């Protein structure tokens, strides 16, 4: 499975595959109750697009810096107060 979309619902935790070989390329989380992205996001070495919109997420894990294939990062309408990786390269995407 290369594409996972989680839309409209109660989501307390996001369980991510532990192996870096999982072929997930696109992950969308929209309009959920998810409050944080787990550090294990860095295990998704094939991830090219991460969309996290309309959630109460207020911070991003440092593991985002390890996503070398990431091309697109969409963080619209969240509770983010700051992005700790501002101005740094994340994969080939620039925040």
CB 35 within 8 A of CB 57: yes
**Helices and strands, counts by H and E, the chain:** 0, 6
Radius of gyration for the alpha carbons in the chain, expressed in angstroms and rounded: 12
Give pLDDT, residue 54: 93
Q: Tell me the pLDDT tens digit for each residue of 24-78.
A: 899 999 999 988 888 888 888 899 999 999 999 888 888 888 889 999 999 888 8
> Is the pLDDT score of 12 beyond 80?
no
**Is the overall model pTM greater than 0.85, yes or no?**
no
């Amino acid at each position: 499975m290369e594409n996972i979309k989680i839309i409209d619902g109660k989501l307390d935790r996001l369980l991510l595959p532990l192996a870096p070989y999982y072929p997930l390329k696109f992950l969308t989380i929209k309009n959920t109750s998810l409050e944080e992205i787990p550090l294990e996001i860095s295990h998704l070495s094939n991830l090219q697009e991460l969309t996290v919109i309309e959630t109460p997420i207020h911070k991003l894990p440092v593991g985002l810096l390890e996503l070398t294939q990431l091309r697109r990062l969409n963080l619209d309408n969240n509770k983010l107060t700051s992005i700790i990786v501002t101005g740094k390269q994340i994969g080939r995407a620039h925040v």
